[in-house]
Amino acid sequence: MDATIINNNHSSLEAMDSTLQLTLHSYNMAHPKRGIAVVINNNRDRKGSEKDVKALQAVLSHLQFDVRLLSDKTTVEIRHALKEVSKEDHTNNDCLAIIAMAHGYNDRIKFDDDYLHIDELWTNFVGNKCPSLIGKPKLVFIQSCRGGKLDYGASIATADARPGLEEPVDVKIPMYADLLVMYSSFEHHSSIRCRNEGSWFIQSFCQVLGANIAKTELQALLCHVSYLVSIRSDQTIDPEGKVVKQIPMVTSMLTKAFYFVPK
């Protein structure tokens, strides 16, 4: 249902000057520290995930994150750890990153004792829950199945495979502003993990973020991650012998451009 409000702003799109120049703003990445990266991994019955952890630790450390690994923890332990991170002072940090890897089904990820709802990964960090992260990017990446459907692809014919204010003001921002969530697969679909090489999504993610990316905006980088996943040529097949494909999904509430500026 749509909400009805009284609009006190008398300007309209029709009245806007077509010659108005668009000004793009970027997040402040000049803080002393990059920020904390929480890596959550359930390794049990997930052969190959140890390669994902190793790759993530390397690339996140290269990007100057403070990497915190939570391996084979219970949901109680994970909730507690995330709560403790939210209590820390992030004033000197650029951003926060959370990467979760486990079995799952749509809006839940499974650990040994119970399921964790996906939104529990970020609920402690949005809005006023974590004041020192207000206005800063919260980046969440989830390697997990979102259902049992398999993507068999489609055949195509193709030729090629508020600045300038001198005084501080009290402003309000949307509750979920500055949050980005990237899923390894489309909703209700499976996510592919190779026993010998790790998961398609995490390995592609680390390949992209490990490159020379300082001048490339984050969402362009993530678009390339999706591209790499989509063209995987592993010829993975299901029990019936069909080739399986995969495409990640991004939900972004970021309000500015994000660059991994070197420190």
Amino acid at 149: K
Catalytic residue among 145, 194, 223, 224: 145
Catalytic residue among 103, 117, 188, 224: 103
Strand 179-183 relative to strand 249-252, pairing: antiparallel
Query: Is residue 203 within 8 Å of residue 229, measured between CB atoms?
Result: no
Q: What letter does residue 225 receive in the DSSP assignment?
A: H
Question: Does the annotation count 189 as an active-site position?
Answer: no
Query: Is residue 185 within 8 Å of residue 145, measured between CB atoms?
Result: yes
Q: What letter does residue 95 receive in the DSSP assignment?
A: E
Task: Tell the residue number behind the tokens 């070197």, with chain if given.
Answer: 262
Question: Does the annotation count 10 as an active-site position?
Answer: no
Q: What angle in degrees, to the nearest 10, is found between the helix axes of 200-209 and 218-230?
A: 140
Residues with active-site annotation = 103, 145
